[in-house]
Amino acid sequence: MNTNKILDIAVKAVDDKKAENIIALDMKGISLIADYFVICHGNSESQVEAIAKEVIDQAQEAGVELKRLEGFDESRWVLIDLHDVIVHVFHKEDRQYYNLEKLWGDARHVNIDQLVNP
């Protein structure tokens, strides 16, 4: 499956569970670990867990292999590695603290409106 389709699956999954402030960063040429980062947050541990579970379920349903999963038990910062797309689901407070958007500030923002509102 191509990377853009995986990005589409991830963005729609987090949107389906009402994740907030969803952004996608184009990491090509910036990071060797992934082509895209999807970053979003929930307002409680249970919402973070629900968002992460939806990403995992939708990816598996589409035949995308889950490479790595970290932080699911604590549900404060869940990292879902789908090979070329890494999804970061934060608790709101943790997202503000780690501020990945600033850390990767030179990455181009992907227009996700086309993905969630076709």
Tokens of 49: 């867990």
Query: Domain coordinates of the chain in residue numbers?
Result: 3-116
pLDDT at residue number 118: 55
Work out the average pLDDT over 39-55: 97
User: Is residue 112's pLDDT more than 60?
Assistant: yes
Going by the DSSP 8-state scheme, the letter that residue 67 receives in this structure is -
CA within 13 Å, CB half, 65: 3
- Cβ-contact 96, 24 below 8 angstroms: no
- CATH superfamily, region 3-116: Beta Polymerase, domain 2 (3.30.460.10)
Per-chain mean pLDDT for the chain: 93
**Cα dihedral across residues 32, 38, 39, 45: positive or negative:** negative
Work out the average pLDDT over 22-41: 94
